[in-house]
Amino acid sequence: MGGKHDIPDDERALFREAVADVQARAEDRVEPYRRRRPPRPLQHPGEKPEEQLGDLSVEAPEFFEFRRPGIQHRVFQDLQRGMIPPEQSLDLHGMRVMEARKAFARFLEGSVRRGQRCIRVIHGKGRGSRDAQPVLKQKTYQWLLQHPAVLAFVTAPRWDGGTGATYVLLSRKAGRGSV
């Protein structure tokens, strides 16, 4: 049913005559690259920060390297090298996930409220966990990705915890208008 042979020759010739002077158009413009923003959980009115931090199924890398668009390369390098000293630390060792989530949320919100620039979260390397899986390290990675005040985070330098700790760069603007 229906094919190119079903068109009569006179109609085919008429069509070719009508489009004889048509030329292919060369596109010289390329669609601009647009970086997709990562999805963020919605914050519902009246929701507490610790309720906002959900559980994503994001696998954490061994070495953390994350920065939001607009963070200068030099600032990010300074964070990686430990040149921006953490003003406060939170140690999650020995905590269960729910306990760690609440402590993390309180610590992060307090740090933002106080206008702190850099903090350190000690989550451990996970060697003492069942199956040697770094549970708190993965959760810390997920929670940091979700928080809007987190501008960047990296694995701490070896002399300050290495892969068992994370340096977090916070937005100072976020703390001025809240609470």
Q: Is position 129 within any domain?
A: yes
Instruction: Provide the 3-class DSSP secondary structure of residue 78.
Output: helix
Q: Is 112 within a domain? A: yes
Residue 148 sits in a domain whose CATH number is 3.30.1370.110
**The pLDDT of residue 42:** 55
In tens, the pLDDT along 115-151 reads 999 999 988 887 666 665 678 888 888 899 989 999 9
Other CB atoms within 10 A of residue 23 CB: 5
Q: Which residues contact 56 (CB under 8 A, 6 or more apart)?
A: 142, 145, 146
User: How close are the terminal C-alpha atoms of the chain, in Å?
Assistant: 71
- Is residue 32, in this structure, part of any structural domain at all? no
Closest CA to 66 of 174, 140, 134, 127: 140
User: Does position 177 have pLDDT exceeding 80, yes or no?
Assistant: no
User: What is the pTM for the complete model shown?
Assistant: 0.63
Tens-place pLDDT, residues 33-89: 777 766 665 555 555 554 445 554 556 667 788 889 988 999 999 988 989 999 999
For the chain, what is the domain count?
1
Tell me: pLDDT of 167 over 90: yes
Contact 169, 71 (CB under 8 A): yes
- Give dist(CA 10, CA 13) in Å, integer: 5
